[in-house]
A and B are shown apart, each in its own frame.
Chain A
């Protein structure tokens, strides 16, 4: 059991770093796009490509953030009914939800790998002035999807093992749908910083 908890913490750490990198990449894109707009407006200089690159950054950053959202239980689940069920029933639904999400994502990721392999074999490049070889952004994107599938598979094992041991508290802590109170903590976590600054 200890080892599962430690693995959980490890996955969270990696996912967090991935989110920092992804967020940083998007911030750089914001600067790049802004410079593009200003140059176009003020000096009539068109630097094409910032739109294409930010699209790639967005796809990859999002894919790498799925795990982080999962580990922080942020993926939306409708808890109108779930909220009134006893804890053991909720824990079973947590496992079912994870299994279905894993099935869907594994299917999608499998097809995404095909897309990547096809681009590699055919040396596909984008039909723009940049002519970006498609396998480069696709590799980053598929990497994020694979990481998400790994995280999902681990979470399913973690939840099932905890269920078998009758440890429903752990199930709720790592995979339960966020209760109203928890959601607020996550939404308003920046507030302390704001109070300090304001």
Chain B
């Protein structure tokens, strides 16, 4: 039965059937085959309950927050401020790319939004300072992926919902790996630009006076981070409430920078609702498939199969890592998360891994999927901001050093689970 499920799913998905329809049709057929269609009769009630789930309201709120930030002109000034502070390193502005992405990620829940925002601001600098275009573009694509690891994160909300894991714990767990990964990226640029001096571009001239003067430009994004993430850990707000506070705060910022208008709001609504509809259609179908799979015993069957192989937990985890690295080359990340986690999660927990730790692990693997060709959404996004155009391969090659760093991060998480678990353990357990 299991191999049929996988074959049908792959067939539908790679025939470019909308992912939600592929999952939905699979659910309905499995139910028809094994339960005489009894479970599908409840699909209305089931979908209604999930559609109004309060924790999921955080998703449109975080997207709306990003859409407003994008249009409020905060990103450009933040980038210029980070340039003053980080560009003395070999590799110059590329460090500002990583740094700005990390800061932006701390108020945005999406990798695409992070890469698009910082990418647009940073791109014109390549020519001005003669950087290696490949590495520069790669740093933007990779830096953008931090959006889903550093809280807030939409992916972690979705993971938390389908696995019943606490979202605040996941958010705390993402902070240290997010910072380490940023440092790994910075390290990769330093090494690359020390070996190949011509990649590093002309240095930026700065002074301490300039550095101090730009500090106020970092305040809006940091305040937003304080409002959104701070309110969760101060015990004041749930993730949904924190996202709502963030939306109101961002709207205030937009009013302050005089970019607030009816037209701007309408565009923000269009962007928000389009993305929300796209995400929710898949989530609802995936959650129902999850329910069907559990009922007809597929999950148990797979568990028996894997335990029957007699692999150690570490071997199983390594197998999963390889599986995700390969799948990530071909699948869009959200679909990958939603189609695999319902099946993989019970195995992982059965092997004794911590659900919060695995959430971070799979997020790093999703980040890898975002920048591995041929299907890597962040590669497309960064390719898309190149006003001058050029071969797509430039971005893909440029991202390779960062893919290596992500694999190093995966290894570190395996060797030191405390990197993810230290903060949640300290605060909650």
Say whether A27 faces chain B, with CB atoms less than 8 Å apart.
Answer: yes
CB pair A101–B21 under 8 Å, yes or no, is: yes
- Asked whether, in the complex, the Cβ of A78 is within 8 Å of the Cβ of B332, the reply is yes
Query: In the complex, what residue of chain A is closest to B121 when comparing beta carbons?
Result: A198
Residues in A neighbouring B241, C-beta threshold 8 A: 33-34, 36-37
In the complex, whether A129 has a CB less than 8 A from a CB of chain B is no
CA distance A198 to B44 in the complex (A): 46
- With beta carbons under 8 angstroms apart, the residue of B22, B54, B332 that contacts A54 is B54
A97 touches which of B17, B112, B121, B268 (Cβ 8 Å): B17
- Measured CB to CB, the residues of A under 8 A from B are 16, 19-20, 22-24, 26-27, 29-31, 33-34, 36-37, 41, 51-52, 54-56, 58-59, 61-63, 65-66, 68-69, 72, 74-82, 90, 93-94, 96-97, 100-101, 103-105, 107-108, 110-115, 137-138, 141, 177, 180-181, 183-191, 193-195, 197-198
In the complex, what distance in Å separates the CA atom of A76 from the CA atom of B13? 10
Name B's interface SS: helix
Q: A100-B17, A188-B120 are in contact. Are A54 and B274 (CB under 8 A)?
A: no
Asked if B293 is an interface residue, CB under 8 A from chain A, the answer is no
Sample of 9 further A-B pairs with CB below 8 A, known A79-B375, A97-B16: A27-B269, A58-B60, A61-B273, A75-B281, A113-B44, A180-B383, A183-B381, A188-B120, A198-B76
Given contacts A41-B236, A80-B374, contact A194 B120 (CB under 8 A): yes
Among candidates A55, A94, A186, residue contacting B54 with C-beta atoms closer than 8 Å: A55
Q: Quick check: is B173 within 8 A (CB to CB) of the other chain? A: no
**Cross-chain contact B375 with A78 (CB below 8 angstroms):** yes
| Complex CA distance for A68 and B265, rounded to whole angstroms | 17
Contact of B244 among A34, A189, A194 (CB under 8 A): A34
Which of B18, B64, B271, B285 has most chain A Cβ within 10 Å? B18
Are B71 and A74 in contact, with the CB atoms below 8 A?
Answer: no
Q: Using a Cβ cutoff of 8 Å, how many contacts connect chains A and B?
A: 274
Output the least CB separation between A29 and chain B (Å): 7
Residue from the list A29, A100, A188, A194 in contact with B25, Cβ < 8 A: A100
**CA gap between A74 and B334 in the complex, in Å:** 14
- Contact in complex: B240, A33 (CB < 8 Å): yes
User: Is B367 engaged at the interface, CB distance under 8 Å to the other chain?
Assistant: no
Known: A65-B273, A188-B385, A190-B67. A177 touches B16 (CB 8 A): yes
Q: Which of B45-53, B95-103, B196-204, B308-316 is the contact stretch?
A: B45-53
Nearest A residue (CB) for B248: A34
**Residues of B close to A66: CB separation below 8 A:** 277, 281
Measured between beta carbons, the chain B residues less than 8 angstroms from A112 are 44, 47-48
B269: chain A residues within 8 A (beta carbon):
19-20, 22-24, 27
Q: Which chain B residues lie closer than 8 Å to A68 at the CB level?
A: 270, 273-274, 277
**Does A194 contact B57, Cβ atoms closer than 8 Å?**
no
Asked if B236 and A62 sit within 8 Å, CB to CB, the answer is no
- CB–CB A111/B44 < 8 A: yes
Q: With A80-B374, A183-B384 in contact, is A62–B280 under 8 Å at CB?
A: yes
Q: Does B365 belong to the interface (CB within 8 Å)? A: no
Known contacts A76-B18, A78-B13, A115-B48; is A16 also within 8 Å of B270 by CB?
yes
- Given the known interface contacts A20-B266, A30-B247, A33-B244, the answer about A58 and B51 at a Cβ–Cβ threshold of 8 Å is yes
When distances are taken between beta carbons in the complex, the residues of chain A under 8 Å from B274 are: 19, 65, 68-69, 72, 74, 186
Q: Mark B107-119, 1 if CB is under 8 A from A, else 0.
A: 0000011001100
Residues on the B chain within 8 Å of A141, using CB: 48, 51
11 A-B contact pairs sorted by A residue (CB < 8 Å) = A24-B269, A61-B60, A74-B278, A76-B335, A78-B13, A79-B16, A80-B374, A104-B24, A107-B24, A114-B44, A194-B259
Interface size on B, residues (CB 8 A): 93
Contact of B19 among A29, A76, A107, A195 (CB under 8 A): A76
Shortest CB distance A30–B (Å): 4
- Min Cβ gap B277→A in Å is 4
B40, B54, B245, B282: the one contacting A37 at CB < 8 Å is B245
Chain B residue contacts of A96, Cβ below 8 A: 15, 17
Residue in A63, A97, A188 whose CB lies within 8 Å of B384? A188
**Is B370 close to A, CB under 8 A?**
no
Interface centre among A74, A101, A105, A190 (most CB of B within 10 A): A190
Cross-chain contact A75 with B278 (CB below 8 angstroms): yes
Instruction: Say if the beta carbon of B331 comes within 8 Å of chain A.
Output: yes
A111 adjacent to B43 (CB under 8 Å): yes
- Report the bound CA distance from A90 to B15 in whole Å: 9
B271 to A, closest residue via Cβ: A190
Q: Tell me the bound Cα distance from A93 to B360 in angstroms.
A: 36
- Residues from chain A with a CB closer than 8 A to the CB of B12 are 100
Q: Is B34's CB within 8 Å of the partner chain A?
A: no
Task: Among B18, B57, B231, B240, point to the contact of A75 (Cβ < 8 A).
Answer: B18
Instruction: Tell whether B330 is near chain A: CB-to-CB under 8 Å.
Output: yes
| Chain B positions within 8 Å of A107 at CB level | 24, 28, 40, 43
